[in-house]
Amino acid sequence: MTAAQHRLFVASLLAIGAGAQGALRAQTVISSFTTTTFAGSPNGPVTTDETNFTFNNTVTSVTSFTAGSTAYQVSGTADQVFVRRNAVNATQSSVWYTSTGTGVFTAAHSEDYGQLLLGNNINRGSDNTFANGTGPTTGNIERLDFVFTGSLTANASMGFAVFDRGASSVHDGFKIALITGWDGVNNVPTAYSQLFFQAPNWTPALNAGGDFDYTLFRYNANNDLSAATAATETGNQGIGGVVFTIGNFNVAPGTPVYGYSLFGYDVTDAGSSANLIDYTNTTFFPTTTDGATGGGGIDLAAVNGITFSAIPEPSTWALGGVTLAGLAIAARRRATSKAGVQTAS
């Protein structure tokens, strides 16, 4: 190989490396996922307004997923959730539960909107989360904060996933930013990463067991879900998911991260992430958000505040094996050398 050929060879390797890094920096639609189910004991009635309903208290958690060529596994769980509503908005909200028959629901009933969403259970979630209005199909949330009180340390293999109930290719758009500063006294974010997004109508829809039946529960008391105003509307859809890595947020490895916030697709930061802090500023958080896929229509599955980490590829393990073998040979050499020294003394 001539010097010129060598330079070309090195340049092509660098180009391949840059391409791979570029791929890692984009959010990626999840192509498959695995779950673990924890069966519960059925109970009902749980509230005066849902007297005829049974909740099976079953938790079905996402344990791993594949996005692009990377597999991820659960690595952490947030301990706090904050539901940010603008007081000028209506008090309506809407949630969904997977149903297994008339009046029988898979998950546990939740009496609090935030607690319903926090954790890892694809059997329930929120409906039209960021849609504003007085109708029953509105969630009236401006921002959802999922917080790791002790903070995380950003690393390149870290991923944050968002799951939406929906039909194939019509999943809802939304925006997301990492919380990089947190006031633990007042429980408010003080700094954000750059705002990132998933455009509407993403595909494919996923569901480990095919589409499922769900029932919508409506409420009109902000986060208080103890008394439903309606619970008869049903549907049949699947679950889609998207993973974001820290590269999407322009956050350097080693940076403390306190969790992330989700936003409707109409939220803007006008080029400054500081504008994401005040969710009551209607310049950046419109209070007229509609429930369309390009607005506030996302129907979150309750897989929120979970960090995932990329599972090293087999080739990396093989390389690690070679390295370990090398270390073992070096260790034997040192042991032999040391033994020799002992014999000499």
49/11 Cα distance (integer angstroms):
68
Cβ contact 142:130 at 8 Å: yes
Enumerate binding residues for Ca ion (CB under 5 A): 128, 132, 164, 166, 172, 289, 297, 299
Q: Compare residues 57 and 123 and give the one whose CB is closer to Ca ion.
A: 123
Q: Compare residues 49 and 269 and give the one whose CB is closer to Ca ion.
A: 269
β-pair partners for 85: none
Q: Which amino acid is at 225?
A: L
Q: Compare residues 154 and 172 and give the one whose CB is closer to Ca ion.
A: 172
CB-based closest residue to Ca ion: 166
In the numeric block, which tokens belong to residue 236? Answer: 């049949």
Q: Compare residues 272 and 282 and give the one whose CB is closer to Ca ion.
A: 282
Cβ contact 234:104 at 8 Å: no
Instruction: Give CA angle at 23 (21, 27), nearest 5°.
Output: 120
Whether omega for the bond prior to residue 136 falls within 30 degrees of 0, making it cis, is no
**Rounded least distance, CB 265 to Ca ion, Å:** 10
**Rounded least distance, CB 132 to Ca ion, Å:** 5
At 33, phi and psi to the nearest 5? -145, 160
Cβ contact 41:105 at 8 Å: no
Q: Compare residues 99 and 132 and give the one whose CB is closer to Ca ion.
A: 132
**Rounded least distance, CB 242 to Ca ion, Å:** 12
**Rounded least distance, CB 330 to Ca ion, Å:** 55
108/95 Cα distance (integer angstroms):
13
**Rounded least distance, CB 194 to Ca ion, Å:** 20
Q: Compare residues 50 and 172 and give the one whose CB is closer to Ca ion.
A: 172
- Burial class from Cβ neighbours inside 10 Å (0-12, 13-18, 19+) for residue 318 reads exposed
**Rounded least distance, CB 329 to Ca ion, Å:** 55
